[in-house]
Amino acid sequence: MTDNIVASVSRFLTPELIGKLTSAANLDRNIGQRATTAIVPAILSGLASVAGTPAGSRQLVDVVAQQPTDMLGNFVNSLTGSAPQTAAKGMDVLSTLLGGGALGLLTSALSKFLAVGETPTRSLMGLLTPLIMGVLGQQQKATGLDANGLARMLTQQKEEITNAMPSGLSSLLESSGLYQRVGSPSATKPPVYDTARGSSAQPMAGNGAARGATWAYWVLPLLALAGLLWYLLDRGGEPVRTTNAPSLAAPISFLAKAPNDWVSASDSDYINQPVYNRPGESLGTIKELLKGPDGKIAAAVISVSRVLGIGEKDVAVPFSALKTEQLATGRRIVFDVTKDALQLAPAFQH
């Protein structure tokens, strides 16, 4: 049984160590606690995405294995005199695992969240990375995990890692496009350091693609919502049974209420199982299955968190829209839709 990885790393982060880390990164000591509690789960979240692919899991194990066996014991000493070198090595490790493009997005998002410059943010990220890798190595050795086991530990703790983030950070990382870049071919393009601005930026072609992706990410859901409002107003406010919301593939028809002849069905392969979208984001948990008069399962009711994690709501989707993927880390249920689409979907009325 492995410990919660965020808690395992946090146990090493005593007030004294946090003070040394923030000082070495040229950050205000008053921001140290907030910065570390944001950066640690953010890095682990990126590593969990890396571990979600066979190639990524092998690469992660190789990097962990290359860390000095006495890393945790000598970590404090590495902050004295050689802190810049330690930070640089840590950022090299992250660049190897996440890719330069994804690392640039992660740095930018954390810098914006903490309201500090990218240079001290990069330094603190680089200083914390050896500690994170050391704890991962410690967990691997203590439990005898192989490559698949280490990857499975991270992917299974995605929800715990997300919950450990300060309020607002998770949504900022998602909207930055970080998780889409991790593991993609463009993620290996290293960031270009802009000495005039003191921040990292992608090459010119990459910037254009990123701006296009960001534009589409925000505008397409708004267009879909505008279309839905026009449809409702055009019908004079009549209630509708289903509605379409933006998705990663074809539009999905969400069910607002089940027909009277549908009944609840049980299936241990689906009930209480987590649901993910294609990028690997957690969407919610399957709460109930609904069977039609022909005896076949027609819909699945998914319990999803509302915006900012306040409360939950149930959303019913066609059962045929759920797909099963077999990954190296195990079976995964996939619903090809964005989190924004679920927020716009009508709540299912039982």
Q: From first to last of the 350 residues of the chain, give the pLDDT tens digit.
A: 457 888 888 888 888 888 888 888 888 878 888 999 999 999 999 998 888 888 888 888 888 887 766 665 566 666 666 788 888 888 988 988 888 788 889 999 999 999 989 999 999 999 999 888 888 888 777 777 776 777 888 888 889 999 999 999 999 998 988 888 875 543 333 333 333 333 444 433 344 444 444 445 455 566 666 665 554 544 443 333 333 433 334 456 788 888 888 998 877 788 888 888 888 888 889 899 999 888 899 999 998 865 444 457 889 999 988 998 887 777 889 988 887 777 777 888 87
CATH of the domain at 252: 2.30.30.240
Q: What is the predicted pLDDT for the residue at 235?
A: 41
Q: Give me the number of domains the chain comprises.
A: 3
Whether residue 27 sits in one domain with residue 170:
yes
Please return the burial class of 16, using the count of CB atoms within 10 Å of its CB with bins 0-12, 13-18 and 19+. exposed
Q: Is residue 350 part of a domain?
A: no
Asked whether residue 349 is domain-assigned, the answer is no
189 and 227: one domain? no
Domain end call among 202, 229, 249: 202
222 inside domain = yes
* Residue 337 phi, psi (nearest 5): -155, 160
Q: Point out the domain boundary residue: 202, 227, 249.
A: 202
Distance, CA of 108 to CA of 122 (rounded, Å) = 9
DSSP SS3 for 243: strand
Query: Is the model's pTM score more than 0.75?
Result: no
Q: Do residues 92 and 182 both lie within one domain?
A: yes
Residue bearing tokens 């790393």:
9
263-265 vs 199-201, strand pairing mode:
unpaired
Centroid of chain to Cα 273 = 18
pLDDT of residue 139: 78
Residue range of the domain that includes 260: 241-344
pLDDT number for residue 73: 58
Please check whether residues 128 and 24 belong to one and the same domain: yes
Q: Are residues 220 and 172 in the same domain?
A: no
Torsion angle, alpha carbons of 129, 131, 133, 138, to 10? -170
Residues 267 and 188: their CA atoms lie apart, in Å, by 42
Is residue 256 domain-resident?
A: yes
In this structure, the dihedral spanned by the alpha carbons of residues 27, 31, 32 and 36, taken in order and rounded to 10 degrees, is -110
Q: Is residue 43 part of a domain?
A: yes
Among 150, 148, 132, CA closest to 140: 150
Q: Which residue has the tokens 């695992």?
A: 97
Where do the H-state alpha helices sit in the chain? 5-10, 15-24, 32-50, 54-66, 75-78, 83-98, 100-114, 118-143, 147-156, 158-163, 169-176, 178-181, 204-234, 339-344
Instruction: State the residue for tokens 């930018």.
Output: 108
Give the residues across from 201 on adjacent strands. 192
Q: Compute how many other C-beta atoms are within 10 angstroms of the C-beta atom of residue 305.
A: 17
The answer as to whether 317 is a domain residue is: yes
Q: Has residue 92 been placed in a domain? A: yes
The answer on 282 and 156 residing in a single domain is no
Whether 212 and 178 map to the same domain: the answer is no
Closest CA to 283 of 255, 256, 240, 317: 317
Regarding whether 176 and 230 lie in a shared domain, the answer is no
Residues in contact with 261: Cβ distance below 8 Å, sequence separation at least 6, in sequence order:
292, 293
Contact 164, 97 (CB under 8 A): no
Same domain assignment for residues 195 and 209: no
Q: Which pLDDT does position 206 carry in this prediction?
A: 41
Residues 98 and 171 in one domain: yes
Indicate whether 228 and 324 sit together in one domain.
no
Name the domain boundary from 176, 202, 228.
202
Residue 45 is assigned to a structural domain of this protein:
yes
Same domain, 262 and 165: no
List Cβ<8 Å contacts ≥24 apart for 156-163. 156/329, 157/4, 157/5, 157/6, 157/48, 158/45, 158/48, 158/280, 158/282, 159/274, 159/282, 160/4, 160/5, 160/6, 161/5, 161/6, 161/41, 161/44, 161/45, 161/48, 162/41, 162/45, 162/282
